[in-house]
Amino acid sequence: MSSRIDILLCHIFILVICAILLGAFSIQFGMGEFPCPLCLLQRMCMILSAIGPAYVIARGRHRRHTGMTVLSTGLGLAILAAVGGMAVATRQDLLHIEPGTPGYGSPIFGLHLYTWALLVFVCIIIASGLMLVFGAEYPSSSQATTSRKRWYTTLTLWLFGAIILANAIVAFMESGFNLFLPDNPEHYELLRQLGIGTGSGGSG
Amino acid sequence: MIATAIFLLLFLLLISVRYWRARVSYSLFFICLVSILLLFWHHATDKLNINL
């Protein structure tokens, strides 16, 4: 695999994570479902796992930095975060695994969101492993060129940053000025604390 | 507020990755990871009264 394909795959990696997080937002605000603490922890781990590929593409602007060293650092970070996310998703799966126990939230395509999250983390680990196995290895000095900003790299990193900030706002709305998130959130605590209605209904 | 702080740390981490400063980025990454795991530990053991 050439370094261009590696960097392109890292873009796709981040954009897929962004799409998943935007999907979670659409369920939160569209269907009026509040993310529980474990759901937010899974979002954190997804963001953390996309930081590795963000590092690869940020370095990819400078061709002399690309290659197996950068790729292995970035994907290593992604795997570490995905293992943490898997632990959280597995924990939430096991909470509801007993037959007859209602799951948290509505199932999407037959599976609850935490089960989808578990599959996403498994896919991250498999994809990272495959990219490491088939990663590009070439001499750095011969390909040293000046950096060139690509519009899609800038767009991807800005979108990713905006989604992280949006999640920070949502988490603040849910926890309010409390230290921890409520176990079963049914309203936006911040809105209640500020006396702006009940903040229920997931309308944001 | 802890969750909000972790998300803000993640944003800071993204900025530090963009302007790669190895020591800062690695430190922030592991601070984020450990914070997430500690928060997970709190929420996972809180309700069940687990003794490990």
Q: Is B47 near chain A, with CB under 8 Å?
A: yes
Question: CB-CB: which of B3, B17, B36 is closest to A45?
Answer: B36
Question: CB-CB: which of B4, B20, B40 is closest to A59?
Answer: B20
Q: Report the pLDDT value the prediction gives residue A66, as an integer from 0 to 100.
A: 58
Q: Report the pLDDT value the prediction gives residue A63, as an integer from 0 to 100.
A: 56
Q: Report the pLDDT value the prediction gives residue A112, as an integer from 0 to 100.
A: 87
Tell me whether residues A180 and B13 touch, CB distance under 8 A: no
Q: Is B9 near chain A, with CB under 8 Å?
A: no
Question: CB-CB: which of B7, B46, B47 is closest to A44?
Answer: B7
Chain B residues within 8 A of A87 when measuring between CB atoms: 37, 40
Q: Report the pLDDT value the prediction gives residue B43, as an integer from 0 to 100.
A: 82
Q: Is A152 near chain B, with CB under 8 Å?
A: no
Question: CB-CB: which of B14, B42, B43 is closest to A54?
Answer: B14
In tens, the pLDDT along B5-40 reads 999 999 999 998 877 677 888 899 999 999 999 998
Q: What are phi and psi of A108, to 5 degrees?
A: -115, 120
Q: Report the pLDDT value the prediction gives residue B5, as an integer from 0 to 100.
A: 93
Query: For residue A134, what are its two tokens?
Result: 């088939």
Tell me whether residues A84 and B25 touch, CB distance under 8 A: no
Query: For residue B4, what are its two tokens?
Result: 């909000």
Q: Scanning the structure block, which residue is given the tokens 């176990």?
A: A183
Q: What is the DSSP letter of A34?
A: P
Tell me whether residues A181 and B3 touch, CB distance under 8 A: yes
Q: Report the pLDDT value the prediction gives residue B51, as an integer from 0 to 100.
A: 52
Q: Scanning the structure block, which residue is given the tokens 């873009």?
A: A11
Size of interface A-B (CB pairs under 8 A): 94
Chain B residues within 8 A of A73 when measuring between CB atoms: none
Q: Among candidates A171, A174, A172, A204, which has minimal Cα distance to A189?
A: A174
- How far is B4 from chain A, CA to nearest CA, in Å? 5
Q: Report the pLDDT value the prediction gives residue A61, as an integer from 0 to 100.
A: 66
Q: What sign does the dihedral A12-A13-A15-A20 (CA atoms) show?
A: positive
List the pLDDT tens digit at each of the 204 positions of chain A: 667 788 889 999 999 999 999 999 998 888 888 888 889 999 999 999 999 999 888 877 665 555 677 888 899 999 999 999 999 999 888 888 888 777 787 788 888 899 999 999 999 999 999 988 887 665 554 444 445 668 888 899 999 999 999 999 999 998 888 888 887 788 888 888 888 865 554 433
